[in-house]
Amino acid sequence: MSTKDLLAEAMKLKPEERFTLVEGLIQSLDEPDKKLNEIWATEAEARLNAYRDGKLEGIPMEDIFKK
């Protein structure tokens, strides 16, 4: 079945059913990337350790929001 055929069939659904279909499709595109999450977690931990060890300075939140 082609994408055009799928769309035609989906348009026959009730609005609530179309919403459920669209929501499911969008969620399928937003699956977390486990490898990327691991990379960011490692980076965040390294930054926190560097800050705690005095190797990295923090920036006050007020200064960040001023920019």
Beta strand spans in the chain (E): none
State the Cα–Cα distance between residues 27 and 19, nearest whole angstrom: 12
- Both tokens of 60, joined, read 């006050």
For residue range 43-52, what is the model confidence (pLDDT) as tens digits? 999 999 999 9
Span 35-43, average pLDDT: 93
In the prediction, which pLDDT does 34 show?
Answer: 87
How far is 27 from 43, CA to CA, in rounded Å? 26
Give residue 42's Cα distance to chain centre.
18
Q: Which whole number is the average pLDDT over 39-65? A: 93
What's the predicted TM-score (pTM) here? 0.49
Listed by start position, the domains of the chain span 1-31, 34-66
